[in-house]
Chains A and B, each alone.
Chain A
Amino acid sequence: QVQLQESGPGLVKPSETLSLTCSVSGDSIFNYHWTWIRQPPGKGLEWIGYVHYSGSTNYNPSLKSRVTISLDTSKNQFSLSLSSVTAADTALYYCASSLDHLFDYWGQGALVTVSS
């Protein structure tokens, strides 16, 4: 069973870059698409994008200009970088594994607040 754990700063200043890492254990990092999903406080879910071990990525068009998701197979980790953040980017950020377009394993989430 896949286990995921997010890590990174909980507070980011406006206009700066949000960076989170997800550590993967329990299964091969080569078996899934590795995904980031976010949830603003009290709101619904927004898919951010994914990375595959092949190097392919796919991003939400609404965030594409600001997002980079990368994979480090040697560390069994993948990362999210979101640039030029505003208060609207304040959310609980989840990492998840995706197989056949479904999100079957999730981390516990990392709350990131954008504030000066």
Chain B
Amino acid sequence: EILMTQSPATLSVSPGERATLSCRASQSVSSNLAWYQQKPGQAPRLLIYGASTRATGIPARFSGSGSGTDFTLTISSLQSEDFAVYYCQQYNNWPPYTFGQGTKLEI
């Protein structure tokens, strides 16, 4: 099973600032990496797949990068609605599909 590790656990930033979230895989997952956003009381929402492709309707301020074992989600200018928990998910080696433990983005 591939272990996904996200850092930091909590990231405190201000609206308008840039946020950089990291995800590391215990072994290479190539570019088979997705990012999800989860707001309180809601189901997760797919943001990024293929490490860098935005899902339908996702604003351009969200960008993903990386391959192999190290990945980054960048939010270029934080809006109030971006404060949430973000999860990475690998789909290179499955079953099982595995998620990171999440990064909470807070003000």
A, B: real partners: yes
Which residues from 20 to 44 on chain A have a C-beta closer than 8 Å to any C-beta of chain B?
43-44
Are B43 and A46 in contact, CB atoms less than 8 angstroms apart?
A: no
Within 8 A of A (CB), among B1-32: 1, 32
Given A45-B44, A101-B32, A107-B43, A60-B91 contact (CB < 8 Å): no
Which chain B residues border A96 with CB–CB below 8 Å? Answer: 43
Closest A-chain residue to B49, C-beta based? Answer: A102
CB of B34 within 8 A of chain A? yes
Q: Which residues of B lie under 8 Å from residue A61 when comparing CB positions?
A: 1, 95-96
- Residues of A within 8 A of B (CB-CB), count: 22
A104-B96 contact, Cβ under 8 Å, with A44-B87, A44-B102: no
Q: Is the CB of A47 within 8 A of B98?
A: yes
Taking CB atoms, residues of chain B closer than 8 Å to A109 are 43
Contact indicator A104/B55 (Cβ below 8 Å): yes
Once bound together, how far apart are the Cα atoms of A61 and B97, in whole Å?
11
Nearest B residue (CB) for A94: B43
Q: Which residues of B contact A102 (CB under 8 A)?
A: 34, 46, 49, 91
Which residue on chain B has the smallest CB distance to residue A106? B43
From 57 to 84 in chain B, residues with beta carbon under 8 angstroms from any chain A beta carbon are: none
Tell me if A53 counts as interface (CB < 8 A to partner B).
Answer: no
Which of A45, A49, A106 makes the CB contact (< 8 A) with B87?
A: A45
Looking across the interface, which residue of chain B has its beta carbon closest to that of A60?
B96
Complex contact B99–A108 (CB within 8 A): no
Task: Determine which residue in B55, B91, B96, B100 has the highest number of CB atoms from chain A within 10 A of its CB, and name it.
Answer: B96
CA distance A62 to B95 in the complex (A): 10
The interface residues of chain B lying within 8 Å CB-to-CB of A62 are 96
Write out the residue numbers on chain B whose beta carbons fall within 8 Å of the beta carbon of A100: 49
9 example contacts (A-B, Cβ-Cβ < 8 A) are as follows A44-B100, A45-B87, A45-B89, A47-B95, A94-B43, A96-B43, A101-B94, A102-B34, A103-B44
